[in-house]
């Protein structure tokens, strides 16, 4: 079950213990797979931005979608086992990030439009 620790605002599950040794354990393997899937998804996204051949684009899009699904499944396994945690964020921090990004967009926009 998902547990939230109020003192550091981390959202995580109880950690499944794995034997620590010089050899890779389950956590190490899954973490390595997750990093690989993230890397592959980024590569496919770049390719999709640059493909002009429709059939090839559709094939790479399908592969990219499958890769993202695998990435999500691996994330879920890591989160379920307490090997991946998230930080709870309050509304003030979200508004601060939004305002910072909106200001950046307004300064960088070639059209100098208001962002609402």
Q: What is the pLDDT of residue 113?
A: 56
Per-residue pLDDT of the chain (116 residues; tens, 9 = 90+): 444 444 568 899 999 999 888 999 999 999 999 999 999 999 999 999 999 999 999 999 999 999 999 999 999 999 999 999 988 888 898 899 899 988 888 888 777 655 55
Please, what is the Cα angle at 48 between 43 and 54, to 5 degrees? Answer: 145
pLDDT given at position 112: 61
Residues 6 or more apart whose CB falls under 8 angstroms from that of 77 comprise 30
Rounded Cα distance, 109 and 89, in Å: 28
């Amino acid at each position: 079950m998902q547990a939230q620790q109020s003192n550091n605002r981390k959202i995580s599950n109880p950690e499944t213990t794995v034997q620590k040794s010089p050899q890779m354990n389950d956590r190490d393997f899954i973490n390595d797979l997750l990093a690989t899937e993230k890397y592959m998804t980024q590569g496919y996204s770049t390719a999709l931005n640059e493909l002009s051949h429709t059939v090839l684009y559709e094939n790479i899009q399908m592969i990219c979608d499958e890769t993202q699904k695998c990435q999500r499944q691996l994330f879920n396994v890591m989160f379920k086992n307490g090997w991946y945690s998230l930080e709870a964020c309050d509304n003030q921090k979200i508004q601060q990030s939004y305002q910072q990004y909106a200001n950046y967009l307004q300064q960088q926009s070639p059209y100098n439009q208001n962002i609402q």
